[in-house]
Amino acid sequence: MRGRDPDEAHRTATPLELFVDLCFVVAVAQASESLHEAFTHGRYASGALRFALVFFTIWWAWMNFTWFASAYDPGDTAYRLTVLVQVTGSLVLAAGVSRAFSQGDLLVITLGYVIMRTALAALWLRAGLSDPARRGTAFRFAAGVSVCQAGWVVLLLLPTPARLPGIVLMILAEVIVPVWAQSAGMTPWHPRHIAERYELFTLIVLGESIAAATIAVRGAFDRNHGSGALYALACGGLLMAFAMWWLYFTRPAHVLLATSHQARGKRFTWAYGHYLVFASATAEGAGLAAYADHLTRPASAASDVAALAVTAPAAIFLVTVWAVHLRPHQTRTAEGALFLFAAVGILMTTWFSAPALVAGLLLSGLTAVVTVRQSPGADRTRKAARRSYLAPPAQETEPGSKSA
């Protein structure tokens, strides 16, 4: 485990990484469903806070595995078994999500986290022993992960009023560990591979959002036998999902990562900023599902409060995707203004009679404008790069021949 070549050609996600993603889907689905239930029962503020904290543990465990695998995945039996231990931990964590939401019980979710993080620390130790050039970095990671995990266990022993400040402190400690560890030397991660891994997880959370909203809207139709508001919600939710996908994949992430390979600050901003991208995409499905319930079974919450569960995640997704994923590619200031204007417009649709439909139309309009405003030169460059990537290797010819 001496580290992989960051310039390795045709580096893609492995079947084991795809399997890990599928298992993390379980935890994402549990978080989305728990947020949906909290919204349905009118617990908007507390539900959003608990979702933000629980989703951090899911995203952080996935991200730590992803960046390690990009740098050190040897694909041997020992590595596979250790990763399967992490998968087991992710499923235990998923089993504890509901209890963390409903009762504030962190025991099961912490147990799953312990299993995952212990396996990750073991992998960092193995990397440190195998890769002398980056031994300091690997050992720092192993030490940081172990200390933070001990902190999460100690958190269970604190009285309930002290837990929220303790959680905030532990989150700060977690995000500092990679910055501190890689100050001793950068791991050999692969820009194209990391970009693909993040793109795949974006598809996962968008798919989960669509699934959660579809199930809820179908149930609302069964109870209400159809209404104009439900049709508007279904159409608007679909437009939002299409636009969110289109906007995220407007620019290739690996180009940005390749240019910032030596710029640590840009790399961490992009990687950490995706927490809001993933969390808001997941929350969007829960918000659409809760609003469908609100239309057929009005709860105590006001209509605008219920609509905010739809519009706020969409606005957060839009602003974050622009800030960390698209802005570094842009050469025109007007493009950023379009995103901010659309985000404000989406929030204002909270007070419309069909917030999801109007927000979906705004997102679709922004998508059309951004697509049209793409420069022809950038489009030609992207197509040329794709042709070069897909073209078969040129055959050698003898000097003086007709083909030569």
113 phi, psi to nearest 5 deg: -65, -40
**Residue 78 and residue 81: Cα distance in Å, rounded?**
5
> Does 49 have pLDDT greater than 60?
yes
Which residue type, as a one-letter code, is found at position 299?
A
Q: What is the distance between the terminal CA atoms of the chain, rounded to a whole angstrom?
A: 43
Mean per-residue pLDDT, 237-252: 90
Mean per-residue pLDDT, 297-303: 66
> Does 404 have pLDDT greater than 80?
no
> What pLDDT, on the 0 to 100 scale, is given for residue 343?
92
Torsion sign over Cα 259, 261, 267, 270? positive
> Does 310 have pLDDT greater than 60?
yes
> What pLDDT, on the 0 to 100 scale, is given for residue 390?
45
> What pLDDT, on the 0 to 100 scale, is given for residue 396?
38
Burial annotation 165-174 (CB, 10 A radius, 16+ → b, else e): ebbeebbeeb
Burial annotation 65-83 (CB, 10 A radius, 16+ → b, else e): bbbbbbbbbbeeeebeeeb
Mean per-residue pLDDT, 52-67: 93
Mean per-residue pLDDT, 310-327: 91
Q: Which two tokens mark 135?
A: 């031994």
> What pLDDT, on the 0 to 100 scale, is given for residue 205?
92
**Residue 356 and residue 340: Cα distance in Å, rounded?**
18
Which residues have CB under 8 Å from 53's CB, separation 6+? 167, 171
> Does 278 have pLDDT greater than 80?
yes
The pairs formed by 2-5 with CB atoms below 8 angstroms and a separation of 24 or more are: 2/130, 2/131, 3/71, 3/72, 3/127, 3/131, 3/133, 3/134, 3/187, 3/188, 4/70, 4/71, 4/72, 4/73, 4/188, 4/190, 5/188, 5/190
Which residues have CB under 8 Å from 159's CB, separation 6+? none
Mean per-residue pLDDT, 267-277: 90
Of 4-8, 179-183, 284-288, least confident by mean pLDDT is 4-8
> Does 222 have pLDDT greater than 70?
yes
Q: Give the ranges where 225-263 is alpha helix by DSSP (H).
A: 228-248, 253-259
> Does 174 have pLDDT greater than 50?
yes
Q: What percent of the chain has pLDDT over 70?
A: 87
Which residue type, as a one-letter code, is found at position 288?
L
User: Helix 303-320 and helix 44-72: axis angle, to 10°?
Assistant: 20
Mean per-residue pLDDT, 44-55: 90
Torsion sign over Cα 369, 372, 376, 381? positive
Q: What percent of the chain has pLDDT over 90?
A: 46
> Does 27 have pLDDT greater than 50?
yes
Of 88-92, 95-99, 303-307, 400-404, least confident by mean pLDDT is 400-404
Mean per-residue pLDDT, 223-238: 82
Mean per-residue pLDDT, 184-205: 91
> What pLDDT, on the 0 to 100 scale, is given for residue 263?
52
> What pLDDT, on the 0 to 100 scale, is given for residue 392?
47
